[in-house]
């Protein structure tokens, strides 16, 4: 889901590579509702011998991290109203012996997304992909109750998409079900503009939340239940 798409707005921009070895983006959530914060690589010419490693902190607590070196890759976290977010991106050599004339640059957007607008996106909207045969793997969900507080809930997995230009967003379903101990999530696929090579790739997805205490997670695509995941408690 691109920035400034209606449901998502770019609130900060930065980059790593030739512009510098690190970037720090800061944002505060205004208004009465929770928001999904997405840190996304929107354009990259970064040399393959360098990774762009990113972390998201909510009110000073590390909540999500990952490798966002490839264009379109992202990490995300749900942030409550009034929360503050810091995104740290670092260019790190991966020592793969690749040589480049120039280091290049990874351009990074910090996006604030409205949960209700995203969950109600019309599947006929341009760029939104609808498929009845979605393939996923390697799901894992856990509640991190180790000190210090607050507790942290995390969900990770991988989704197969038809080309590298497809972005995957994992969102809480609206409305949720009757059992508050079961978290309902939805997979949304969005095709970025342009001409993309048509080969299948796996895209990592993640979702994190402060003080989210669940027994299981059900992940949907449209009306289809994709997977039912038990939640492990890490103490």
Q: Are residues 71 and 131 in the same domain?
A: no
pLDDT value of position 1: 47
Q: Are residues 130 and 219 in the same domain?
A: yes
In terms of residue numbers, what domain contains 88?
1-115
CATH classification at residue 50: 2.60.120
Q: Which of 88, 115, 142 is the last residue of a domain?
A: 115
CA distances from 69 to 141, 164, 191, 199 (A): 24, 13, 19, 19
Q: Report, as ranges of residue numbers, the positions in the chain whose pLDDT lies below 70.
A: 1-6, 116-132
Q: Are residues 91 and 144 in the same domain?
A: no
Contact 205, 219 (CB under 8 A): no
Contact 200, 161 (CB under 8 A): yes
pTM score, whole prediction: 0.79
Contact 54, 65 (CB under 8 A): yes
pLDDT value of position 115: 77
Q: Are residues 2 and 69 in the same domain?
A: yes
pLDDT value of position 222: 87
* pLDDT tens digits along 132-144: 689 999 999 999 8
Q: Are residues 137 and 73 in the same domain?
A: no
pLDDT value of position 2: 46
SS3 168: strand
Contact 33, 123 (CB under 8 A): no
Q: Which of 57, 82, 115 is the last residue of a domain?
A: 115
* pLDDT tens digits along 200-210: 989 888 999 88
């Amino acid at each position: 889901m691109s920035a400034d798409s209606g449901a998502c707005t770019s609130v900060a921009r930065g980059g790593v590579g030739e512009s510098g070895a690190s970037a720090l983006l800061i944002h505060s959530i205004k208004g009465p509702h929770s928001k999904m914060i997405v840190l996304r690589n929107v354009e990259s010419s970064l040399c393959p011998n360098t990774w762009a490693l990113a972390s998201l902190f909510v009110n000073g607590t590390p909540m999500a991290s990952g490798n966002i070196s490839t264009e379109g890759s992202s990490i995300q976290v749900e942030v409550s109203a009034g929360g503050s977010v810091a995104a740290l991106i670092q260019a790190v050599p991966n020592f793969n012996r690749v040589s480049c004339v120039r280091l290049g640059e990874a351009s990074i957007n910090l996006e604030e997304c409205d949960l209700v607008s995203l969950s109600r996106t019309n599947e006929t909207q341009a760029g939104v992909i609808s498929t009845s045969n979605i393939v996923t793997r390697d799901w894992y969900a856990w509640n991190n109750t180790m000190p210090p507080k607050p507790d942290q809930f995390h969900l990770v997995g991988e989704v197969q998409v038809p080309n590298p230009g497809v972005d995957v967003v994992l969102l809480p379903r609206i409305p949720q079900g009757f059992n508050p101990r079961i978290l309902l999530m939805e997979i949304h696929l969005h095709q970025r503009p342009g001409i993309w090579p048509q080969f299948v790739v796996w895209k990592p997805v993640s979702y994190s939340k402060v003080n989210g205490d669940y027994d299981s997670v059900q992940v949907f695509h449209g009306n289809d239940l994709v997977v039912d995941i038990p939640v492990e408690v890490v103490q």
